């Protein structure tokens, strides 16, 4: 496939329009996107990737906005990917996140992009990971990925990050929010946002009670709980300080995390590539015939797979 060198070069030079275009290309999860990633990959791995997850309406976008202000204060540039379940798939058009309060438009050190959750052929986690690589290659110091903590896709996205922030808010059943979503285990920092509300401390206590049930070995990171008011910006500096503390404390362990993630990622890509190859190697209609045989119970699924593997 011919590679658009011009696009690659412009991404590496940090050209914003090229970055936007490149994200659209990788969102399509086709050969062009794979070629682009191949071209830029050696220039990635430098950005610090921050995953932010939590239920809808917990104030993630508002908080990320504040967070970006802190990053800029620290002389760091920031790329933001907001995975927005409410935005329809636009084929890559740039959507303004409706709740952004601060205008970063005039700031070349900030790039914000909304991505729809539907319409990604290769899966949301893959599209998001590749979009993060584009921002990384373009030279952004930090890449923030905001995602709604509901499904496996979102957990995958956050576990691909260097640090995971889980956002909770005061309200009914809040002590269970994180546990229900299965993100309790992946949180490096708990954020109790909307701390301007009365019962914010109830959430803090619920989280610390559940953390108290876990044992943290020597040198292990015990997730701190940070109260924020994203509307006023209160606590954003403390949140930033905790992220910095984690980054410095977890230096070598961060490498292990990337190794573990990369191993899983390669296996997933291998599985997908292998399925593509296997299906292509079968005579037309053969796969469907095997499915029919399994449904009819004349063939078991393990033997069906074995018969395909033999032929590849
Ligand atoms: N009272 C209060 N409202 C907040 C706070 N942070 C965000 N909000 C509001 O909560 C709503 C949802 O915020 P948003 O950032 O879109 O949440 P997201 O869906 O998690 O991205 C918006 O109306 C925000 O203005 C906060 O700290 N306190
Ligand atoms: Mg949001």
Q: Which helix (H) or strand (E) holds 48?
A: strand 48-54
pLDDT for the residue numbered 115: 83
pLDDT for the residue numbered 97: 44
Counting atoms of ligand 1 from 1, which one is nearest the CA of 55?
20
Distance CA 80, CA 132 (A): 9
If you measure from the C-alpha of residue 232 to the centroid of ligand 1, how many angstroms do you get, rounded to a whole number? 11
* Ligand 1 environment, Cβ below 6 A: 54, 56-62, 99, 193-194, 196, 229-231
- Residue 298 above 60 pLDDT? yes
Counting atoms of ligand 1 from 1, which one is nearest the CA of 229?
27
pLDDT for the residue numbered 154: 72
pLDDT tens for 212-223 read: 888 888 878 899
Which residue minimizes the CA distance to atom 25 of ligand 1? 231
Q: How far apart are the first and last CA of the chain?
A: 24
pLDDT for the residue numbered 255: 79
**Ligand minimally distant from the alpha carbon of residue 97:** 2
pLDDT tens for 29-58 read: 888 999 999 999 999 999 999 999 888 888
Q: pTM to 2 decimals?
A: 0.86
**Ligand minimally distant from the alpha carbon of residue 168:** 1
Scanning the structure block, which residue is given the tokens 């119970």? 297
139 DSSP assignment: T
If you measure from the C-alpha of residue 213 to the centroid of ligand 1, how many angstroms do you get, rounded to a whole number? 30
pLDDT tens for 186-243 read: 889 999 999 999 889 998 998 888 888 888 888 788 999 999 999 999 999 999 999 9
Q: Which residues of 227-248 are buried (b: 16+ CB within 10 A; e: fewer)?
A: bbbbeebebbeebbebbeebee
Q: What is the mean pLDDT of residues 91-119?
A: 65
């Amino acid at each position: 496939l011919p590679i658009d060198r011009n696009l690659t070069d412009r991404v590496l030079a940090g050209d914003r329009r090229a970055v936007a275009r490149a994200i659209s290309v990788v969102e399509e999860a086709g050969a062009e996107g794979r070629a682009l990633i191949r071209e830029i990959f050696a220039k990635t791995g430098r950005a610090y990737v921050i995953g932010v997850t939590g239920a809808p309406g917990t104030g993630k976008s508002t908080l990320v906005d504040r967070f970006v202000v802190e990053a800029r204060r620290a002389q760091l540039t920031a790329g933001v990917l907001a995975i927005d379940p409410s935005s329809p798939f636009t084929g890559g058009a740039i959507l303004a996140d409706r709740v952004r309060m601060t205008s970063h438009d005039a700031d070349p050190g900030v790039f914000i992009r909304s991505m729809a959750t539907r319409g990604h052929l290769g899966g949301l986690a893959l599209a998001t990971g590749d979009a993060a690589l584009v921002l990384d290659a373009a030279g952004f110091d930090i890449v923030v990925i905001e995602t709604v903590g509901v499904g496996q896709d979102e957990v995958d996205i956050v576990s691909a990050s260097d640090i995971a922030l889980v956002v909770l808010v005061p309200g009914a059943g809040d002590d269970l929010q994180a546990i229900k979503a299965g993100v309790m285990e992946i949180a490096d920092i708990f954020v109790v946002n909307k701390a301007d509300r009365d019962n914010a401390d109830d959430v803090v206590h619920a989280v610390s009670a559940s953390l108290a049930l876990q044992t943290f070995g020597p040198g292990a990171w015990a997730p701190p709980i940070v109260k924020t008011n994203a509307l006023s910006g209160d606590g954003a500096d403390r949140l930033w300080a905790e992220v910095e503390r984690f980054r410095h404390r977890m230096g070598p362990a961060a490498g292990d995390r990337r190794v573990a993630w990369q191993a899983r990622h390669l296996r997933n890509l291998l599985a997908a590539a292998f399925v593509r190859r296997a299906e292509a190697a079968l005579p037309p209609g053969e796969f469907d015939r095997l499915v029919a045989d399994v449904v009819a119970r004349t063939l078991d699924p393990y033997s069906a797979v074995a018969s395909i593997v033999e032929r590849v």
